[in-house]
Amino acid sequence: LTIAAILATSIFFIPQALAALTSVQVVTNIGIVTTQSKNINDALSTLPVSPSSSQLASMSTTVVNGFQAIISSLANDDTAMQTTPPFTVQSDCDAVVAALSTVSSFVQIHQTLLSTVIGKHTIFAQFGATAPITAVLRTLEGAIDSFAYGLIALIPCGRPP
């Protein structure tokens, strides 16, 4: 996971933070965060059981930066969702409901990522590198919660105002 990849995926969120989202953008943004999670997991999965201190330092930076990119993406998307009124047009409602499979995919990939992080805990702990990862995971939890509530607020489709 490179800084360029993180920046490239984060760029998609910047314009959307300024205007209401379409249902297609909501689905796309979930996909972007899913990809970011997968990229971190793929990188972390390559960490050997007995890494050198430089390998561990590099991986710790990669993991923390990757999680920070996800947090940034979610925060920008959450801001945009706050300016987006609930979808009431049936086609938007249908698109968002169909997008729940995208959310399911995100949850599965994110669970895999967290499982990988937990599995690598002892490796990071032996070098005293758990604090930055722990801190970013706490922040990530809040960002995911906020994003989820924002998404839920968009789907009272078909209900009278």
Q: For 44, what's the count of Cα atoms within 13 Å in the CB-facing half-sphere?
A: 28
Q: What is the pTM (predicted TM-score) of this model?
A: 0.79
Report the range of poorest mean pLDDT among 100-104, 123-127, 143-147: 100-104
- The string of pLDDT tens digits covering residues 52-102 is 999 999 999 999 999 999 999 999 999 998 888 887 777 777 776 777 778
Distance CA 20, CA 58 (A): 38
